[in-house]
Structure 1
């Protein structure tokens, strides 16, 4: 009985640690994002990382930007955009690029759905969809 309980706990833990999926508007998988911020392509090749301190890196661990205090910066610390609490994504000139809804839908500035990022931190989804190419 003890082995069964331990096995169930291990299975549940593995199930909760799986990657979240980022999909395009046609519901095709674009990226998988692990809970540690590793970004993988649909073929599971590592494309980049979003570290817990907000550092954004490419697959070669080169810093390409930062996400801190709802501000997105490039590697030179120049602000390239903002992530508002209501899900509005803006560029450095405060023009709206799009929106990330509470249900994970990602919309462009004309409210057309461009993808989904359900279960992924809003900041991470904004970085992936609007600011850095992976």
Structure 2
């Protein structure tokens, strides 16, 4: 009797341990999130689709902030500098080709593209790329 009770309690604990995070996980924003956080005179924007990044753990790009599980990248004090040259600028977070403590959009896209020249153009190019379509 004690062994079966212990087995049931262990199974219940495992179910809770794996189920609770998904119950409390925040929903990703809908596709079509327009990223426009610089004072770029050319007006470059990017439309980000979370659905095409489902293989990436949210914490790879987002920092956990207080009660908000995943804060916006341009939240005050994070990457809110509009100046492209600022150390923590939104521009650098997206375009830096070398990953620091966290990957950037371009560093991840370069890794994903590998040696495929056409995919590299599509994922890391400027105007006419997947990031900045014409």
Give TM class, smaller chain. Answer: under 0.3
Structure number with bigger Rg: 2
Q: 1 or 2 for the larger relative contact order (CA 8 Å, sep ≥6)?
A: 1
The two structures have a TM-score, normalised by structure 1, of: 0.25
Identify, as 1 or 2, the structure richer in helix.
2
Identify, as 1 or 2, the structure richer in strand.
1
